[in-house]
């Protein structure tokens, strides 16, 4: 098992329409080359481990992109790149488990979770809900088959992970750092799945994730990335104007499409005036 048990992410994009009113809604893309999840499956008192690379996204909002004091979780999707396989031998039997197309997603995407304070770069979300997706194929023989049958299941079959319902994370803590517009967020995440709450000894899965990504945060209206919204940005706005439903917008104009409707019009001008700071 790898030693790291965290989620490492960094901002790579931005969407208009801030929730906290300063930083904007930020999409965080996960780099599967540097990202993984560790899983421990226990059945009949015996545990085995496997891991997978992770792809997907997180979506957050911060109140201030330069010095965040609050952070909000809006959406997430941690998708496993690799299938998982477990072979567990118990006394006079064994069970083989194979999981495919597994993802852990927000059961209510777009609904804010938080905000929570950021103190010295540290933050903690408590009781974050998680929904699993994907399928689990299993094949139990010998005494393992008897245990499975006692749960009212056949000795061989497929289980839809979505039927597990909403799971609550045991930990979701992290750190956010901003250096010259580049934002790095780290989040530790761990949760447990109990297949039968009435019989927890039947089987459990403990998941610990670590994902890595880097990128640049963009402040809505700040087209040149200098940390303010001034006359230079207004000149860019004028060059980006399409009028209502006149999109798609040109390259470099995303920062002044405040409502994200793929045009730049007077609605965006109203928002620009609210954000204008001068030099």
How do residues 265-279 score in pLDDT, each as one tens digit?
999 899 888 888 876
181: left (phi over 0), alpha (psi -120 to 50) or beta: left
From the number of C-beta atoms within 10 Å of its C-beta (0-12, 13-18, 19+), residue 8 rates as buried
Say whether pLDDT at 18 is over 90.
no
Residue pLDDT, tens place only, 125-153:
999 999 999 999 999 999 999 999 999 99
When mean pLDDT is compared over 100-104, 241-245, 246-250, the highest value belongs to 100-104
Q: What is the pLDDT of residue 22?
A: 52
Residue pLDDT, tens place only, 164-180:
899 988 778 888 877 77
CA-to-CA distance for 208 and 190, rounded, in angstroms?
Answer: 5
Helix axes 231-240, 266-275, angle to 10 degrees: 170
- Taking alpha carbons only, the member of 173, 168, 204 closest to residue 188 is 173
Q: What is the pLDDT of residue 23?
A: 57
Is the model's pTM score more than 0.85? no
Task: Assess contact for 88 and 74: CB atoms under 8 A.
Answer: no
3-7, 91-95, 176-180: lowest mean pLDDT where? 3-7
pLDDT higher at 193 or 133: 133
3-state secondary structure of 74: strand
């Amino acid at each position: 098992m790898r030693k790291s048990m965290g989620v490492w992410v960094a901002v790579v994009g931005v969407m208009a329409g801030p929730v906290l009113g300063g930083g904007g809604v930020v999409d965080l893309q996960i780099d599967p080359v540097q990202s993984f999840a560790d899983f421990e499956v226990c059945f009949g008192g015996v545990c085995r481990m496997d891991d997978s690379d992770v792809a997907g996204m997180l979506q957050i909002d911060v109140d201030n992109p330069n010095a965040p004091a609050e952070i909000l979780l809006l959406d997430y999707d941690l998708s496993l790149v690799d299938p998982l396989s477990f072979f567990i031998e118990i006394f006079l039997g064994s069970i083989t488990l194979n999981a495919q197309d597994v993802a852990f997603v927000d059961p209510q995407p777009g609904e804010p979770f938080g905000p929570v304070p950021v103190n010295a770069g540290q933050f903690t979300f408590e009781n974050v809900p998680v929904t699993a997706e994907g399928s689990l194929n299993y094949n139990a023989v010998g005494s393992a088959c008897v245990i499975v049958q006692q749960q009212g299941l056949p000795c061989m079959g497929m289980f839809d992970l979505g039927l597990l319902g909403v799971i609550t994370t045991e930990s979701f803590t992290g750190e956010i750092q901003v250096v010259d517009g580049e934002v790095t967020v780290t989040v530790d995440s761990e949760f447990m799945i109990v297949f039968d709450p009435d019989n927890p000894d039947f089987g459990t899965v403990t998941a610990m994730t670590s994902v890595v990504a880097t990128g640049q945060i963009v402040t809505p209206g700040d087209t040149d990335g200098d940390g303010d919204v001034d006359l230079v940005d207004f000149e860019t706005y004028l060059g980006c104007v399409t009028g209502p439903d006149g999109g798609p917008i040109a390259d470099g104009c995303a920062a002044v499409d405040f409502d994200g409707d793929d045009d730049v019009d007077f609605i965006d001008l109203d928002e620009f005036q609210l954000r204008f700071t001068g030099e």
